Structure 1
């Protein structure tokens, strides 16, 4: 047991306290010391050039020490050395401290390029910082790495661009990505993300509140001015959407058809004219039926012997089917 503890302590001490000062541990300790001194200087004199210089030295020592350790221990990921990529990540983390927090994506997009620069430096400079020309196989290898880094940076940038679009235009999340070559959906399309659902629900509530339990002659007069009423209501509703950038891409349309039984069929349509998987966009439809209901018992205001006017009843379907293209209104 004592031998085991002695062996364990010997391994730990040799790992943290190397016999030679020319080791990666020395750089790590110099980095920790620089970070500590920078915090002491910050607490005493505040922010300034001295604090930044000391902290920068700590980042340099820490990055070199980590890279030295990973390269010495032959750490590989799928056969690729990870030391320069980790050093590049540390460098990006350092530079992100000089940028606003919302711009952290720039650090991630530049990480592959900075990592390739770290890989290329030993090929173009000697230990005495004298420039040299790498042999053709090394140059070919560096060119391939640069192209791969550019591809990774472009993919990172494309991902963040898509996320910004989805945040600014959440209705895009309700679209169909089955034919997309680069966007893969892991769940069913969230149709409720489409702000057209909000428009149709608000229109249903407005029409129900305006026509339900009202005399039938009033309903017929109200439907004559349906387009003007709908335009005013749609303007107020679209302006109140949580994603104002979509305001110009949604519009509300409707038309009414008289049925043989005396009822009216209202087709409410929220039309999306923004980016879509179909050529001419799409529209969502909600169908409402306005029916006349005969009043059996007359009200006290009804004159004697007079038949009370029928009252309106509004019923709307729950489904909001999606149709590609633009609606053809008659």
Structure 2
């Protein structure tokens, strides 16, 4: 079905906002790539719209519900059966922000963490055999993970992966936006853990796998606020997108349109000058340091070990998810 394409690029949450504009940029520059945008639904026919706009036929939508580990496994099985070209880039972008009370997935995990981290980690593990010898993973995080940036969001806190997945009676009372910032910290911790594994694989094999994290900045108008109250959604979608220059002047220069941040994410995904870059964090196109907590090796390994132990159904999967079969 996809043999006419040389490589695949998979972007989660690619039907709207940041992910869509990333996909559009990649598809425009690489008509020889199969661009797969994966989300729970494509109500706006984003894949068809992108193809019509570009005059290409290389963007395809596939349904993916990252809140369901069973659905992620089904997605990976479908990918195998569809025989897509090897994956040149995997962009782990999908996320949501739940400002209210704690919510859980059908598998029993806190939903913010489950979608932005756990579902993505399982997707990567299952699709690892389909990565090209030269491949990139890009994990979309957020500057809100760093309390030093004074974003106005609650400070991220990481005690353990287990507590993020299954909040205690006390931590379940934390604000929903604090669960979001903590999950974005987990994204950075996972990036650094994965980078060490990739570096070892690259050293011992002919592969060249890289991973970097990305902060798109504040992007009024995206779907991130879909679970906010009516007034907040009105501001987010109708007022703030029209006031970007003023917001940059008054609040922070790291405020962008989805189009601008999508172009920066596409650059990180396919830019040739980034071929050797790995284990780094980019605010737009600027490489910057991450939070103090994100460099804590103990936290990084706690997240890695908990993730593998949680996702692997048996010893064979555990070895595969630890990349033992590659090494």
TM-score (norm 1): 0.22
Decide which structure has the larger Cα Rg and report it: 1
Where is the helix percentage greater, Structure 1 or Structure 2?
1
